[in-house]
Amino acid sequence: MALLVRRARKVVAKATAAAPAPLKQGGGELAIPAHFRCPISLDLMRDPVTAPTGITYDREGIEAWLDKGRAVCPVTHAPLRQEDLVPNHAIRRVIQDWCVANRSRGVERIPTPKIPVTPVQASELLFDVAESARWDGGAARCAGAAARVRALARDSERNRRCFVSVGTGRVLAAAFESLAAAGATAVLEDVLAALVCMMPLDEEAARVFASPSSLGSLVAIAKHGSLAGRLNAVLVIKEVVSRDGELGDLGAKVDEIVDALVRVIKAPICPQATKAAMIATYHLANSDERVAAMVASTGLVQVLVEALVGADKSASEKALAVLDAVLASEEGRASARDHALVMPVLVKKMFRVSDVATELAVSAMWRLGCRGSDEEGALTRCLVEALRVGAFQKLLLLLQVGCRDATKEKATELLKMLNKHKGLGECVDAVDFRGLNRLT
């Protein structure tokens, strides 16, 4: 190996001696020797690997190339597989020496790359997870193995893909179920943390988490776990309830899941958890009107309306989706009609966030204005408020600029309803719509 390093250094020395001294480019950066550049990215190689064709690439670049289905060497077009790539330690050490030699010119030394996990190593580690989860008293060992899986998966995307390819999600889901059934709650968060690195979950892993013991433990962590544990539990719950055909298996746990999700939305722990909880709540409420009524009974409608006032694009779309799903129930509509801000917020979100948000806002307004109500006075107040904040003009504009057929039908129905109450409300919309004078 030392001989190879010395030879590589001689080759580089000859190449750099034949060329002029390192030049500074227009941006003040030092010119990188051609031998150090990856043929794909043309950047300095940080983890050089050599193909059987003799061409050296940066690992990240060549693996990205192969992941796109191009099973050939980019330079020679000879057949190439990821398994054929061999780390080129000699050229990597020479590159590191060059970086050190040019440290005064702003070049940082590249770190020595970690050795990627192989499928065999990943399988052996998973075997340890699965076996220790079944043993009496093996919970601590299982947690340690799961922590090792998580650490390796977080090292690089290549490692994560390697673990996914050997079915890590299924193994960790089964381990979680076994530990939950055995009452080993102290280590469940460690297994959950490793599992989140394998998302999205496959069908089998999602089915395992739909079992009563796993769901009960997930809900408990989502309510009372550490901040990281609560986030991970919500992410897994979202994966489970977002799959078609899985909701029927949740059974009596639906009310507990709804309670846990609503807690996270009402008392946010981080934006990622809030958005994941909203997605899960949307799927639950959208699956059954009874679940939508259950969500409405938690007081979530008021929280969503107030959250929409200053929400960003992603949060706005998710909050609008949940609100629209909850308004499918009479309880949801009654709760929304009692809130003074609901119509102003929905009208404001039209054209200001995204096309998706506009369609969701129109759908929510349609549910509020065109669905039956036990209290006609509340319905009238809702429609009058919509007129007052400029809903009529915005709906006309929406029909002019175009939208999906379903949204167009809802907008047309809303306009008919609003037209009946036009004399009761005066538009005070301050938005300057281009072309509005041609519509009214």
Q: Count CB atoms within 10 A of the CB of residue 411.
A: 24
Question: In the block, which residue shows the tokens 């938690």?
Answer: 298
Of the candidates 80, 150, 142, the residue with the CA atom closest to the CA atom of residue 122: 150
Of 333, 246, 332, 229, the closest CA to residue 287 belongs to 246
Residue 197 confidence (pLDDT) above 90: yes
Q: What is the pLDDT of residue 15?
A: 39
Bridge-partner residues for 254, per DSSP?
none
Helix (H, G, I), strand (E, B) or coil at 408: helix
Residue 3 has pLDDT above 60, yes or no: no
Q: What is the DSSP string of 281-295?
A: HHHHHHH-HHHHHHH
* pLDDT, tens digit (0-9, with 9 covering 90-100), for 425-437: 454 443 343 433 3
Mean pLDDT value across residues 34-54: 93
Q: Is 211 exposed, middle or buried (0-12, 13-18, 19+ CB in 10 A)?
A: middle
Spatial contact of 57 and 49, defined as CB atoms under 8 Å apart: yes
Lowest mean pLDDT among 99-108, 138-147, 354-363: 99-108
3-state secondary structure of 73: coil
Q: What is d(CA 211, CA 218) in angstroms, rounded to the nearest whole number?
A: 11
Find which of 3-12, 134-143, 170-179, 245-254 is predicted with most confidence, using mean pLDDT: 170-179
Q: Is the pLDDT confidence value at 22 over 60?
A: no
Q: What is the pLDDT of residues 146-174, one digit of tens each?
A: 999 999 999 888 899 899 999 999 999 99
Q: Which amino acid type is present at position 173?
A: A
- Structure token digits, residue 343: 């119509």
What is the reported pLDDT for 28? 57
Q: How far apart are CA 417 and CA 3, in angstroms?
A: 86
pLDDT at 278: 96
What's the average model confidence in pLDDT over 354-363? 94
Tell me the average pLDDT of the chain: 85
Please, which pLDDT band fits residue 247 given cuts at 50, 70 and 90? low
Residue 75: exposed, middle, or buried by beta-carbon count in 10 A (0-12, 13-18, 19+)?
middle
- What is the DSSP code (8-state) at residue 30? B
Most confident option among 220-229, 252-261, 329-338: 220-229
Structure confidence at residue 435 (pLDDT):
38
Q: Which residue has the tokens 């909203």?
A: 278
Rounded mean pLDDT, 171-196? 92
Q: Which residue has the higher pLDDT, 329 or 22?
A: 329
Determine the average pLDDT of the residues in 256-274: 94
> What pLDDT does 153 receive?
94
Which residue blocks in 135-167 are alpha helix, DSSP H? Answer: 139-155, 157-165
Query: Band of the pLDDT at 244, cuts 50, 70, 90?
Result: low
